[in-house]
Amino acid sequence: MSDILKNLLVGIVAILMCALGYYLYTQSGANTLSLDGSSVNSDDLLSRTEIFIERRAVLEAITIKIDLFSDPRFTSLRSYTTSVPEQSVGRLNIFDAPGVISKSDE
């Protein structure tokens, strides 16, 4: 690499590192949680927490009855399906028209 290209690359990396540092510095206060009750954010957090707790209590109160699976009417069901015969997949000659079946496929 030439000296000019090295200097240009070092300069670009330095500028990018400065921009990244500035971004991280400005975002450092955004992730802190205020614990005082006067903040609007904490009120919103508390209301969302209360909603979550209420919904969780409703979901925990749900019971699923599995008596259906042990019912003789359910367990005595029979399948009346027919098996599908195996067929070869694809064509022997890839240049055949889609509707043409070679005699060797039968």
| DSSP symbol at 70 | G
Q: Is residue 18 part of a domain?
A: no
Amino acid identity of 63? Answer: T
Domain count along the chain:
1
Token output for 29: 């206060």
Does residue 69 lie within any of the structural domains? yes
Position 45 in a domain = yes
Q: Does the pLDDT at position 50 exceed 80?
A: yes
pTM attached to this predicted model: 0.32
The arithmetic mean of pLDDT across residues 58-71, rounded, is 88
With respect to residue 97, please indicate whether it lies within any of the assigned structural domains: no
Q: Is there a domain that residue 63 lies in?
A: yes
- Which of the pair, 20 or 43, is modelled with greater confidence? 20
Instruction: Answer for the pair 102, 93: CB distance below 8 angstroms, yes or no.
Output: yes
pLDDT of 28 reads: 74
| Cα–Cα distance for residue pair 50/57, rounded to 1 Å | 11
Residue 61 in any domain: the answer is yes
Checking if the pLDDT of 105 tops 70, the result is no
Domain that holds residue 68: 41-76
Distance in angstroms (rounded) separating the CA atoms of residues 33 and 74:
54
Distance CA 22, CA 64 (A): 54
Does residue 38 surpass a pLDDT of 60?
Answer: no
60, pLDDT greater than 70: yes
Residue % of the chain over a pLDDT of 70: 78
